[in-house]
Chains A and B, each alone.
Chain A
């Protein structure tokens, strides 16, 4: 299997607090990886480092694309995104007063080939590209089942649908790697089930490498092929769901030690 993401000794300090400490991980193409850990373990900070929101204090993040290795640690988020890395947010960050369709269109920005001048002068390329974007965005919305809501403002969607839209928007980037930050948070069992199916489906269809943070253990254990466990910023374990369930460090981190 080919490696797509290689993280080496990644560290992030906030003043005296070490939020992520010396984390290393290797992720292969097409894997579905779970990232778990108690609250405050540094999972979202790790995502923020991987997507460029934070600059690492030290360590390397290497993205391997068609046998070319690119250092992405400390790059601007939009540059990392344009290398084929998409994400969703823990605390949904949709463009609230834009429509569902527009939300998806924003994410297709990289592939739109006309500039500001062509937009203002309404040159033929504008119409051609906009037509393409419209079709492509509608296609994607049909796929995630939001097509009928396409002209609704994002803020008016129910919670579960907003999460879905975040995933659709991330897919519109046409990523190779997709980070999902607690996609099932706050969902009821039915919604979680639908979400699981959606993740499976898009992963298959777009040949994605998916890394997800999740507290819903049944979901993680069911769909993830490999799991990394963070606690107090340190990577304490990694392995298959079965191995993780047996791992004494993980059990300690979640349940505490015997006295």
Chain B
């Protein structure tokens, strides 16, 4: 253990994760979170990974991507196919790695040409990309076409899911609070100035996009091994919008808010389960409302930071 890692703030984060893990585990064991609600809980954690990773692309780097479901789809099918051949954790690990490789290649192909341009080209390109992935999956034999993959063994356990979500948040936060992350933030703020500061803007946009794609693919793999069945129509444009809603709803650029939004929307979905037809309408209205009344999202760019909290207390007592 290195001494830089052992500070109060990091320990506080560790404590928070352990406590929330233990509490949730106990609640599930005891049956307070029943089997129906535990599905929601699993969903929330998958959505946390998706929202945080999309927030890296949209909120931190300022590049508007509408194809997150596409990378999720790649991850889900890679893991699903692999796990069906090898129904154990090794199979899942191999599936995740294949998903990573494929997502990276695809992300590079999509992003290198489009991210060289300024403007909203990425949104259009990623929108098209996600549809291409879905249609390919729908028509390939190995993916079993529109019927989807059945009988995927359930390998996504709560501890695995929890650890993956924590890793995803760590990756994104560590990246954001570093020189490459600062480069991405500066691109979001002002691309011309960023380039004038000696930053290879295309490079950093691509890096952020690829990290986002990798995490989405991981979320996809966990998703596949959670529900026994995956079908191409689970990865439509609507799914990308679902994730986008979490990012915009919470606040672009704030990871705390992405996590909270994923939780909130998970709960809202349960509440609205009986009116699934009007769910999208309510989403739409909520988004319009946010745009009008709080365009920066509910939390804006505010971040829960133990470091700042401790620093403030130190200042007060000093």
Contacts and interface: CB of A to CB of B under 8 A. Distances in A.
A120 interface: yes
Contacts of A169: 197
A202 to B, nearest CB: 17
B198 A109 contact: yes
A119 B198 CA distance: 19
B207 A95 contact: no
Contacts of B183: 106, 109
Interface in B141-191: 170-171, 174-175, 178-183, 185-186, 189-190
B189 A109 contact: no
Contacts of A96: 189-190
Contacts of B193: 89, 93-95
A119 B280 CA distance: 38
B303 interface: no
A110 interface: yes
A173 interface: yes
A207 to B, nearest CB: 19
B123 interface: no
Contacts of B301: 97
Interface stretch (A2-10, A122-130, A225-233, A237-245): A122-130
B189 A119 contact: no
A98 B185 contact: yes
A102 B182 contact: yes
Interface stretch (A73-81, A142-150, A156-164, A187-195): A73-81
A87 B180 CA distance: 21
B198 A116 contact: no
Given A109-B197, A173-B198, A120 B175 contact: yes
B280 to A, nearest CB: 31
B260 to A, nearest CB: 20
B179 A129 contact: yes
Given A112-B179, A119-B179, A129-B179, A95 B195 contact: no
B257 to A, nearest CB: 15
B94 interface: no
B31 to A, nearest CB: 38
Given A78-B199, A122-B5, A106 B182 contact: yes
Contact of B197 (A107, A116, A133): A107
Pick from A96, A106, A122, A173 the residue with the most CB of B within 10 Å.
A106
Pick from B175, B180, B198 the residue with the most CB of A within 10 Å.
B198
Given A78-B199, A81-B198, A120-B171, A95 B179 contact: no
A115 B181 CA distance: 11
Nearest to B171: A120
Contact of A110 (B2, B182, B192, B198): B198
Given A95-B185, A116-B207, A109 B199 contact: yes
A176 interface: no
A98 B196 contact: no
B192 A126 contact: no
A109 B190 contact: no
B196 A87 contact: yes
A106 B170 CA distance: 22
B139 interface: no
B174 A81 contact: no
B161 to A, nearest CB: 20
A81 B194 contact: no
Given A94-B190, A116-B207, A122-B4, A81 B197 contact: yes
A133 B177 CA distance: 13
A94 to B, nearest CB: 7
A105 interface: yes
A117 B276 CA distance: 42
A164 to B, nearest CB: 16
Nearest to B201: A78
B55 to A, nearest CB: 15
B192 A116 contact: no
Given A93-B190, A122-B4, A109 B182 contact: yes
A21 interface: no
Nearest to B178: A119
Contacts of B174: 119-122
Contacts of B186: 95, 98, 106
A82 interface: yes
A115 B180 contact: yes
Given A76-B195, A114-B179, A95 B190 contact: yes
B200 interface: yes
Contacts of B192: 53, 77, 89, 93
Given A78-B195, A106-B199, 5 more contacts: A76-B200, A81-B197, A94-B190, A95-B194, A116-B207
11 contacts: A78-B197, A82-B198, A95-B185, A97-B301, A98-B185, A107-B198, A109-B198, A114-B178, A119-B178, A119-B180, A133-B179
